[in-house]
Amino acid sequence: DTEVTQTPKHLVMGMTNKKSLKCEQHMGHRAMYWYKQKAKKPPELMFVYSYEKLSINESVPSRFSPECPNSSLLNLHLHALQPEDSALYLCASSQTTGANYGYTFGSGTRLTVV
Amino acid sequence: DQQVKQNSPSLSVQEGRISILNCDYTNSMFDYFLWYKKYPAEGPTFLISISSIKDKNEDGRFTVFLNKSAKHLSLHIVPSQPGDSAVYFCAATPYNFNKFYFGSGTKLNVKP
């Protein structure tokens, strides 16, 4: 299995809703990432987990709450989002956080906040 | 301030010819560079990388060239195929730091 699987593929939520995005990989990668990509912009890093511990939080608002329950799973809990949070949310993984390993990206969750 | 720039938003090439995608960066601390390929509705997938100790890295039809003095890298695809049509992002990072700075992408269209 050489994939990063993200669910759901599409999500529409209201500003008062609570939802979660899920990311799963079974490649034995110990680094996992959340990116946010707005239209026509490059992906922006949000969070990095290394060996199930949060190692980087790129000043992301607290309405986004990441969780790494085990080495294969990465969640992003969403609460009280704003319409400007609508974007493609990408999960990625790599063997470690070191720069010598290429990433594997999931296909993303298209989030629309209404 | 965008530290990695891809100044050509799009490129159109005939099948079989060479595609050259360019990327410029401003941070002299960048030490490792990657190219990603993105199809519509998919996440970017890693394509090829190069570290600053090299000036060229080749993988099949894909070759990346790095000119550190000019802070410039390029991706050559030879021969180009219609399946190569996608958006190509370059990314850069200082060595041993796991934050990548992405360019804005170049959309490549390979015409049959």
Put simply, the answer to whether A4 touches B43 (Cβ < 8 Å) is: yes
- How far is the alpha carbon of B108 from chain A, nearest alpha carbon, in Å? 14
Give the closest of B45, B89, B98 to A99, CB-based.
B98
pLDDT digits (tens, 9 = 90+) for A72-92: 999 999 999 999 999 989 898
Put simply, the answer to whether A102 touches B34 (Cβ < 8 Å) is: yes
| pLDDT the model gives residue A70 | 95
| pLDDT the model gives residue A99 | 46
pLDDT at A40 over 80: no
pLDDT at B97 over 60: no
Name residue, tokens 């989030």. Answer: A111
Q: Which residues of A30-56 are buried (b: 16+ CB within 10 A; e: fewer)?
A: ebbbbbbbeeeebbbbbbbbbeeeeeb
pLDDT digits (tens, 9 = 90+) for B81-96: 999 999 898 988 876 5
B97 in contact with chain A, both atoms CB, cutoff 8 A: yes
| pLDDT the model gives residue A93 | 87
d(CA A63, CA A65): 6
Report whether B46 contacts B34 (CB < 8 A): yes
Q: Tell me the average pLDDT across B102-112.
A: 91
pLDDT digits (tens, 9 = 90+) for B32-77: 888 988 777 666 777 888 988 899 999 999 999 999 999 999 999 9
DSSP string, A44-65: EEEEEEETTEEEEE-S--TTEE
Residue B13 Cα distances to B16, B18, B22, B82, B107, angstroms: 9, 7, 14, 9, 11
Terminal Cα distance for chain A, rounded:
35
